Amino acid sequence: MLYVPEERLVERLTQRRVCPQCGAIYNAHLRPPQVEECCDADGTELVHRADDWESAVRHRIDVFQRETASVIAHYNETGALSVINADRKPAEIASDIRWLLEDRMAA
């Protein structure tokens, strides 16, 4: 399971912007456009989708937690759950996933 603290998820998702013309995705902190609120590819004004507003993001997280709690508990109780800190650089996360898969395949 990839884990990111809830507040970090909210921060990341509420900063997402999308180009309605070409579909390019930006993040105000992690991958900002070269010109604020404008698509690098075509100059179109970026939009903040309603499902990326804070209230919607928090609702999605709440639903996810409620709907997956029993599944997570089950795999945790059986010892089959592995948790990877996903609040890091993608290369670090990928390295941990590779190590985990190789370890599981060797067992």
The per-residue DSSP string of 68-106 comes to: HHHHHHHHHHHT----EE-SS-HHHHHHHHHHHHHHHHH
> Does position 30 have pLDDT exceeding 90, yes or no?
no
Residue 26 near residue 41, CB atoms below 8 Å: no
How wide is the angle at C-alpha 102 spanned by C-alphas 98 and 105, nearest 5°?
140
The confidence band for 64, taking pLDDT boundaries of 50, 70 and 90, is very high
Q: What is the pLDDT of residue 44?
A: 98
